[in-house]
Amino acid sequence: MQAAWQVISGGITAPRGFQAAGITAGLKASGQPDLALIVSESDAIAAAVFTTSQVRAACVDFSRQQLDGNSIARAILCNSGQANAATGDQGWSDAVESAGQLGQALQIPSNQVLVASTGVIGQRIKMDALRTGIPQAIAALSPEGGAAAAQAILTTDLIAKQIALELPLGDRTVRIGGIAKGSGMIHPNMATMLSFITCDAAVSPQLWQDMLSRAVDRSFNQITVDGDTSTNDCVFALANGQSRTPAITERGPIADQLEAMLTAVCQHLAKAIARDGEGATCLIEVQVKGTADDTAARAIARTIAGSSLVKSAIFGRDPNWGRIAAAAGRAGVQFNAENLAVRLGQFELLRNGQPLPFDRDAASQYLRDRAAGAYLQDDTVLIQVEVGSGTGQGIAWGCDLSYDYVRINAEYTT
């Protein structure tokens, strides 16, 4: 589908009827912003995707319970600094109290509040700081508060991650905005680290949930930094209907356009997370085609992007295509190795299962050039793999594995 939308400013508050804030409440020892609040001025249809980990933070189970049989949410509260995971009954009580405090302060039902946390596992939320911070965050709410909220949810991230898109629908427009955080513990098995999305379209609850689930499968579930899934992963998406466009209640051309834009927002944020991987110097994009279906192609792409050997070779500027081929072969997808083809950027390395002569020095320089473009549009190492003649296609994103990744995570709590 050809993109009909355009990028606009504003991030999470670009859609009509949303305000946000990001403040320093004293939750982080660093003194950096650490409490984010997103509020819809009217009832919003809520969709969510959560981690499938058996060790989950209290916020994950609590927010899932909030949405059980309830499709309406008005606010998202996120603290950074403490994960509130593996904190027992007291951690659960803290999540409940957080929602209750915010609901009371906003004068909305507490079951319309979703909560999220990020930080060190095993540490409870600093509730005294949170109690003081909630009214401060409410006072700071603004239609221009998206950037502040994006900053307040960060932990080891080097950059804030936000995006907003606008799509013409008839004589009006629909907007979707999003923010995300993530840098380490990135190998989602549901959604991602944390991502919050707003939309001003009117969408039926089940359709909105289905759209989000499919978008997540094509974006956040296709990124990897280090093979570790967090205890706190969640994606929340709110749609409040403030665009005043006709309600979207079933699949069709209009719904498909909205879902494509939602997917584009998710993919932008997902790539920003992979690009910001702890210690990373470049983004890796793996494109796979020729499988029986898209699911198989995505599995191969994700396996290659997540291979420690592939990631290490990219960091070493080593065009070692054998590691790419080996990763493709262990992805759990059947294909004939005689059909395997591998390209690295403009360099064709393998065709019909046979190695090809190539300029190794030039290929290595290609990798060095990508590292030199870190955080720019030319920082992407492109790996293309073909395994047959099927119609399946898939993309995954990752980053290289550097010495700094070990340093950052070896000293995370010390």
Arithmetic mean of pLDDT, 120-138: 97
- Which among 13, 87, 192, 224 is annotated as catalytic? 192
For residue 121, give every residue at least 6 positions away whose Cβ sits within 8 Å of its Cβ, in sequence order, or none. Answer: 57, 83, 85, 86, 231
What are 79's strand-pairing partners? 35, 117
The annotation status of 192 as a binding-site residue, yes or no, is yes
- 291 labelled catalytic: no
User: Does 204 score more than 60 pLDDT?
Assistant: yes
pLDDT, residue 374, reads 55
189 within 8 A of 227, measured Cβ to Cβ? no
Token pair of 105 as six digits: 């302060």
397 within 8 A of 223, measured Cβ to Cβ? yes
pLDDT, residue 184, reads 74
The annotation status of 271 as a binding-site residue, yes or no, is no
The annotation status of 126 as a binding-site residue, yes or no, is no
Global pTM?
Answer: 0.92
pLDDT, residue 158, reads 87
CA-CA distances (angstroms) from residue 311 to 172, 246, 316, 324, 403?
A: 45, 46, 9, 10, 12
pLDDT digits (tens, 9 = 90+) for 245-266: 999 999 999 999 999 999 999 9
Read off φ and ψ for residue 305, nearest 5 degrees: -65, -30
**DSSP of 92-132, one letter per residue?**
HHHHHHHHHHHHHHHTS-GGGEEEEEEEETT----HHHHHH
Residues in the chain: 414
* Whole-number average pLDDT of the chain: 93
